[in-house]
Amino acid sequence: MKLDRLLGILTVLLQERQGDGSRRRLVTAPELAEKFEVNRRTIGRDIDALCMAGIPIITHQGAGGGISIAEGFKLDKSVLTTDELSGIIAALKGIGSVSSQANIERTLDKLHANTNAVVSLREPVIIDLASYYKGQLTEKIETIKRAVLERRLIEFDYYYEKGETRRVIEPYFVIFQWKSWYVFGYCLKRQDWRMFKLLRLWYLSILGETFATREIPPERRDFSIIFDGDTKVVALFDPSVKYRLIETYGLHCFTETDEGLRFEMDFSDRDYLINWMLGFKDKVVILEPPDIAEELQAAAKSILSRYKQT
């Protein structure tokens, strides 16, 4: 999958817009395949990659159908500026860190003969969204993408705080948010929409059974809600760990007081919160809520008792 072809496809779609941003006509997959000298399957993968990079591309089925940019996506010109190209390239590079098909070594000189924007893919930015398990992540993402496109069920083992479970879901999206990759879909066991972290998901397989696309409720399409905090924490950190707070939550996540750094934040993942706080050892004291402070005390006592036994 070549970045110059991806950006070229985006340029073609943008050129099929009127000056006011309205749609002029739909571009078909065969047209794009002929223009870029690839097959239709490759164009399908390219469109999927652009969607993952945040470009709102819509495919219209049936007679007279084709591919277009969503009506709400507007640019001042029919070509991309240097800043716009840089942003898209950054997003595509991020995909490249977990996609075996991405190719980021070639230089993009120009997208269109009439544009002055020239952007090199060898810009001084390196994005790697993968973890230590990059190989497994790549395989999982590619498998889930194929299942989404083919509308086929996926099955996997899932490991979480309550133990292990085997799930079958209808996959809809692969999402990167809050430093982790997730698959969003409809869980047949829970009969509800669920988000599953890919690093906790193993023995993934695509089933032969297909599924009819469900309408995702509007409130479930706002994935940020899933990560909204439901536990408000107030803590006092030692000034020596200021750099760690800044690198995680930014310059303004605390207030400097005579007692230390007063930190207030909402957390949605209790397990993450406890583990994160334990990483500061004796450099933090939880002020609120009391149940989090009690859990940290219990964890510290358990650790101490284990060492006393050795």
Residue 105 lies in a domain: no
pLDDT at 21: 46
- Domain with 198 in it: 134-227
100-150 pLDDT tens trace: 544 434 433 333 334 444 444 445 666 666 666 667 788 898 899 899 989
Tell me the pTM. 0.55
Give CA–CA dist 308/310, Å, rounded.
Answer: 6
Domain boundary among 179, 207, 227: 227
Residue 120 lies in a domain: no
Band (67; pLDDT cuts 50, 70, 90): confident
The least confident of 117-126, 225-234, 261-270, 272-281 is: 117-126
Give CA–CA dist 96/94, Å, rounded.
Answer: 5
Structure token digits, residue 79: 């070509």
Q: Are 206 and 225 in contact (CB under 8 A)?
A: no
Task: Judge if 9 and 67 occupy the same domain.
Answer: yes
Structure token digits, residue 274: 């406890």
Sort strands 152-160 and 66-69 into parallel, antiparallel or unpaired.
unpaired
Q: Is the pLDDT of residue 94 over 80?
A: no
Q: Is the pLDDT of residue 292 over 80?
A: yes
Structure token digits, residue 42: 């490759």
Task: Judge if 82 and 155 occupy the same domain.
Answer: no
Largest CA distance in the chain: 75
Torsion of CA 279, 282, 288, 292, to 10 degrees: 50
pLDDT at 2: 62
Classify each residue of 60-69 as buried b or exposed e, where b means 16 or more C-beta atoms within 10 Å of its C-beta. eeeeeebbbb
Band (11; pLDDT cuts 50, 70, 90): confident
Residue with the bigger pLDDT between 210 and 117: it is 210
Residue 126 lies in a domain: no
Average pLDDT over residues 249-257: 91
Give the angle 212-215-219 at the CA atoms, nearest 5°: 150
Q: Is the pLDDT of residue 63 over 70?
A: yes
Reported residue count of the chain is: 310
Classify each residue of 105-116 as buried b or exposed e, where b means 16 or more C-beta atoms within 10 Å of its C-beta. eeebeebeeebe
Residue 85 lies in a domain: yes
Give CA–CA dist 41/181, Å, rounded.
Answer: 25
Average pLDDT over residues 155-175: 92
Mean per-residue pLDDT over the chain, rounded: 78
Q: Is the pLDDT of residue 74 over 50?
A: yes
pLDDT at 287: 96
Tell me the CATH number at 185. Answer: 2.30.30
Report the domain count for the chain.
3
